[in-house]
């Protein structure tokens, strides 16, 4: 049986009646210090959720258990092991003035005093490429490197996560729909703020709504922390992968073909020459794959010959003359053979198509 709007309203009020505008968490076993993290009350956006999640990580409150895998995190937990950390969502000026860290409210940016707002006249500055900072970016700029223990990793997290949230919070579009029927991109902002959108339609009183907002905000903190930590771990892996890839590139006699054994988590590169990567398949045999025009894109720099796409192994062997040719994706970005020699021969045939002008090479983005 479907619940009526009033029944839903009663359920929400019942579940949140004990929620107060305060969450506490100990970073250690004793209450030797006191850290007060403050952001605004009422509805929220990814900016203040992620800024708070970051500040909590800096003060050693990890809701995920994944922080131990970050290079700098043990030092943080040791440094703040005796501090008692509180998070308060409020619009009370007196509470804001007492904050150890004040985020997304206060109309002030002062890194030394841990005041991280961007709503004041003139904003709070921009990155070198022009994207303005929101509170998440300001908090990350101060604490990010200390949390992840590496400047390169902190920069990667800013580029792949923080900057995009900052841009949206400042009203900058970061994605456009490619659908003709009006379908819009599903953005992190919409997922994080989904509960806020639903609450406005339930006919709750302002007090009831704020209790729901508080409960939802604190439930999202572990999710935000997990995203930050996983992005940092991915960044660390990507940096190490790039180093290994550059070594393979330097050793390659033909820079158009990069042989990886084992395969690296790479599908694009800033290098201009590479067109194909060759690597052992997890299913047995060997694969060859095209490099993409840039990270985050599916379009290849080139493709395997048109005649190969979707053919059976027997047809592919007849067309190519490669006795152990097994597969060519219908999109022509991936081929497989039973041996390294076989897949390298398929790559050489594809290169001949390019050299003879039958298969174009696209300009690399970036």
List, for residues 261-304, the tens digit of each pLDDT value: 999 988 889 899 999 999 999 999 999 999 999 877 889 999 99
How far apart CA 226 and CA 19 sit, in angstroms, is 23
CA distances from 260 to 179, 247, 250, 277, 287 (A): 37, 11, 13, 7, 10
pLDDT of residue 119: 96
Q: Which residues contact 73 (CB under 8 A, 6 or more apart)?
A: 57, 62, 67, 147, 148, 149
CA distances from 357 to 274, 351, 352 (A): 17, 10, 9
Which residue positions in the chain have pLDDT lower than 50?
A: 1, 8-9, 11-22, 24-32, 366
How far apart CA 322 and CA 305 sit, in angstroms, is 14
pLDDT per residue as tens digits for the range 181-191: 988 888 887 77
Q: Where are the domains of the chain?
A: 5-239, 252-355
pTM to 2 decimals?
0.80
pLDDT of residue 33: 63
pLDDT of residue 6: 57
Strand partners, 213: none
The answer to whether 78 and 15 have CB atoms below 8 angstroms apart is: no
How far apart CA 143 and CA 132 sit, in angstroms, is 18
pLDDT of residue 18: 37
Strand partners, 290: 276
DSSP state of 104: S
pLDDT of residue 204: 82
Nearest to 280 by CA among 353, 336, 199, 227: 336
pLDDT of residue 34: 87
pLDDT of residue 298: 84
How far apart CA 338 and CA 221 sit, in angstroms, is 48
């Amino acid at each position: 049986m479907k619940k009526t709007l009033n029944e839903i309203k009663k359920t929400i009020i019942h579940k949140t009646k004990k929620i107060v505008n305060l969450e506490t968490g100990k970073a250690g076993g004793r209450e030797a210090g006191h850290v007060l993290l403050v952001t605004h009350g009422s509805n929220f956006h990814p900016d203040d959720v992620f800024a708070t999640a970051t500040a909590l990580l800096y003060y050693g409150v990890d809701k995920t258990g994944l922080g131990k895998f970050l290079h700098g995190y043990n030092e943080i937990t040791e440094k703040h092991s005796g501090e008692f950390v509180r998070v308060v969502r409020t619009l009370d000026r007196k509470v804001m003035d007492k904050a150890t860290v004040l985020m997304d409210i206060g109309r002030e940016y002062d890194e030394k005093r841990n005041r991280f707002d961007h709503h004041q006249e003139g904003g709070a500055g921009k990155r070198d490429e022009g994207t303005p900072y929101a509170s998440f970016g300001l908090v990350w700029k101060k604490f990010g490197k200390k949390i992840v223990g590496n400047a390169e990793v902190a920069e990667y997290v800013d580029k792949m996560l923080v900057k995009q949230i900052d841009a949206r919070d400042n009203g900058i579009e970061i994605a456009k729909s490619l659908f003709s029927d009006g379908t819009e991109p599903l953005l992190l902002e919409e997922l994080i703020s989904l509960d806020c959108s639903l609450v406005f339609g339930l006919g709750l009183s302002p007090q009831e709504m704020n209790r729901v907002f508080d409960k939802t905000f604190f439930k999202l903190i572990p999710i935000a922390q997990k995203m930050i930590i996983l992005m940092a771990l991915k960044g660390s892996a990507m940096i190490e992968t790039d180093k290994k890839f550059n070594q393979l590139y330097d050793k390659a006699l033909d820079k158009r073909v990069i042989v990886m054994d084992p395969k690296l988590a790479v599908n694009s590169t800033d290098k201009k020459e590479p067109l194909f990567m060759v690597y052992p398949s997890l299913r047995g045999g060997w694969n060859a794959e095209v490099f993409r025009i840039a990270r985050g894109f599916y379009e290849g720099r080139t493709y395997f010959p048109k005649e190969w796409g979707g053919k059976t192994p027997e047809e592919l062997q007849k067309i190519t003359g490669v006795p152990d040719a097994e597969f060519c994706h219908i999109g022509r970005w991936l081929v497989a053979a039973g041996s390294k020699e076989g897949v390298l021969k398929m790559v050489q045939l594809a290169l001949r198509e390019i050299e003879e002008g039958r298969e174009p090479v696209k300009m690399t983005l970036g």
